[in-house]
Amino acid sequence: MAAPRNKTITVVLAVLGGTLGLHRFYLKGLGDWVGWLHPVPTALGWWGVERVLAYGQDDKLSWVLIPLLGLSMATACLAGIIYALMDREKWNRQFNPDHAADAPAGGTSWVTIGALIAALMVGTVSFMGSLAFGIQHYFEYQIEEARKISQ
């Protein structure tokens, strides 16, 4: 019988290390190919941050890369929110099929609720920040191009 997967640990991993796929590796093992895709947009987003620090805010490639980091963070937090709101029976049926439907591993504790609140805050800030950054730079680019045409 496999060790039960704990909902609280999964939610905390999604909030703290979800951009690296840690929650997926905890639930499905290191063979989970979707988990291995998580670090790619995260690394590209950090590369965009490094480009802004090196070349300034006028670097157009960083305008595309930085929102990837925010969207990666928001996606990981969304996964944490979904896991935290899952009821015990559904959790155990999906992730602990060898255990009883009312097994304690699928239960919600105060730590789960705290991680849920953190996921809501971090996910919202990262998503809205990415959206604002991307839209702002897109419109600045459009205005710059319009000025070039008008001159």
pLDDT tens for 51-109 read 999 998 888 898 889 999 999 999 999 999 999 999 999 999 999 999 988 889 999 99
Query: In the prediction, which pLDDT does 23 show?
Result: 96
pTM: 0.87
**Mean model confidence pLDDT for the chain:** 92
CA 125 from chain center: how many Å? 12
Q: Is residue 7 within 8 Å of residue 116, measured between CB atoms?
A: no
Looking at the chain, the number of H-run helices and the number of E-run strands are 7, 0
Residue 2 has pLDDT above 80, yes or no: no
62 burial (CB, 10 Å; 0-12 / 13-18 / 19+) is: buried
Query: In the prediction, which pLDDT does 1 show?
Result: 65
Domain boundaries, the chain: 7-150
Residue 46 has pLDDT above 90, yes or no: yes
Report residue 18: phi and psi, to 5°. -65, -30
Q: Which of 55, 62, 73, 69 is nearest to 137 (CA)?
A: 62
Q: What is the DSSP letter of 105?
A: G
